Amino acid sequence: MAGDRFMAARKRNALLLLLAPISIILGIFFLIPLGIVVVYSFLEPGLYGGVEWTWYPYNYGRILGWPLNDYEEFDPIYLKIFATSLKYALMTVVFSLLICYPAAFWVSRRSERWKGFVLFLITLPFFASLLIRIYAWLLLLRPTGFVNTALEAAGIISQPLDLLFSGTAVVLGMVYIFTPFMFLPIYANVEKLDFSLVRASQDLGASPIQTFLRVILPLTAPGMVAGSIIVFIPALGNFIVPSLLGGAKVQMTGNLIERSFLQSRDWPFGSALALLIMASVVVVLMIQTVKAGRAKGGRPA
């Protein structure tokens, strides 16, 4: 009917209007820069910075193994660094999951006032600059820092431990930074978990472990997946933490990208590295989307 069609048109217009601001912002500040990066990644780096406008697939070649000429040996160093980044990002995800999942349950069982207070505490770090907070870790972990002096004073160690400038320090720093991002989605999920379902499961004869695996875990998985993705993506490309806490020993792809753009002024190579990270993130997201779609549409296993 004409009325229906009119209503449908109005709905469509309203939708367009609502989506306009975000579309414009994403278009200008995301898609266009992304396009530039994609184009640059296939151009030859200029001798003194800038680019030569010629087709040049060897930025990717340097990373993935088709070197510029036959005399050059392929150096898998970039792939190794990428693998290290993946490892550290995954470790960050796992450790912050291990911290946040039980914590979310604990907080969700507190009184309303307690909950508000804890959530405030969790957002508290955001009031201080990220840089300052990482520097604080530097002070804590260095040989004459708080951790070492405390351990020495307690007589647990006689020599200061080499805490700083290690993979451990990097993962520690990233877990520290990203914990709130893991906590909030998990908490939102755990908080709305209907506790009577846990009762029902027990009532139907399930042991505590069975109840956890078959009821609590599946119902809180979406929060864990969301938190993991939100942590994994920035952890994979992070460069501040490794450059401050990792020193010269720990390299992550983020550091390489930063150096290509800012120090060696090799924008095409930096672009190629950045796109590689993005590609792996997209793969992760696609797997997640397919899985989520399957869980909703069909019967879960």
Partner 1 sequence: MGFLQILSARKVYQTPEGSSVQALDDVTINIRNNEFLTLLGPSGCGKTTLLKCIAGFEDLDGGDLILDSKSLRSVPPHKRPFNTVFQNYALFPHMTVEQNVAYGMEVAGVSKVERDRRAGEALDLVGLSGFGGRRPTQLSGGQQQRVALARSLVLKPKVLLLDEPLSALDRKMRETMQIELKNLQHAVGITFVFVTHDQEEALAMSDRIAVLAQGRLQQLDTPTEVYDKPANEFVANFVGTSNMFAGTVASISGDRVILETGNGRRLAATSTAFRVGDQVRLVLRPEHLTILARDETGDADVPAIEGRVRETVFVGSTMQVHADIGHGRTALVSHPHTRRGSSDIAPGAEVRIGYSAASGHLIPMRSA
Q: How far is the CB of 230 from partner 1 (least distance, A)?
A: 22
Whether residue 177 contacts residue 240, with contact meaning beta carbons closer than 8 Å, is answered with no
Q: How far is the CB of 51 from partner 1 (least distance, A)?
A: 52
For residue 220, is it left (φ>0), alpha (ψ between -120 and 50) or beta?
Answer: alpha
Name the burial class of residue 50, with classes exposed (0-12), middle (13-18) and buried (19+) by CB atoms within 10 angstroms of its CB.
exposed
**Closer residue to partner 1 in complex, CB, 210/264:** 210
Whether residue 171 contacts residue 88, with contact meaning beta carbons closer than 8 Å, is answered with yes
What is the residue type of 209?
I
What count of residues does the chain have?
301
**Closer residue to partner 1 in complex, CB, 91/215:** 215
Q: What would you report as the CA-atom Rg of the chain, rounded to the nearest whole angstrom? A: 24
- Cβ neighbours, 10 Å, residue 227: 28
Whether residue 167 contacts residue 88, with contact meaning beta carbons closer than 8 Å, is answered with yes
Q: How far is the CB of 226 from partner 1 (least distance, A)?
A: 16
Whether residue 148 contacts residue 69, with contact meaning beta carbons closer than 8 Å, is answered with no
**Closer residue to partner 1 in complex, CB, 50/208:** 208
Q: What distance lies between CA 253 and its chain's CA centroid?
A: 13
Q: How far is the CB of 202 from partner 1 (least distance, A)?
A: 5
CA-CA-CA-CA torsion for 113, 117, 119, 123, nearest 10 degrees? 160
**Closer residue to partner 1 in complex, CB, 189/260:** 189
**Closer residue to partner 1 in complex, CB, 44/191:** 191
Tokens of 224: 């864990």
**Closer residue to partner 1 in complex, CB, 154/209:** 209
Whether residue 241 contacts residue 177, with contact meaning beta carbons closer than 8 Å, is answered with yes
**b/e 264-288 (16+ beta carbons within 10 angstroms → b):** eebbbbbbbbbbbbbebbeeeeeee
**Closer residue to partner 1 in complex, CB, 34/206:** 206
| Number of helices and strands in the chain (H, E) | 14, 2
Q: How far is the CB of 109 from partner 1 (least distance, A)?
A: 13
Q: How far is the CB of 117 from partner 1 (least distance, A)?
A: 16
Q: How far is the CB of 197 from partner 1 (least distance, A)?
A: 5
Bridge partners of 51, per DSSP, are 45
**Closer residue to partner 1 in complex, CB, 59/201:** 201
Q: How far is the CB of 223 from partner 1 (least distance, A)?
A: 13
Positions in the binding site for partner 1 (CB under 8 A): 111, 194, 196-197, 199-208, 210-211, 214-215, 218-219, 299-300
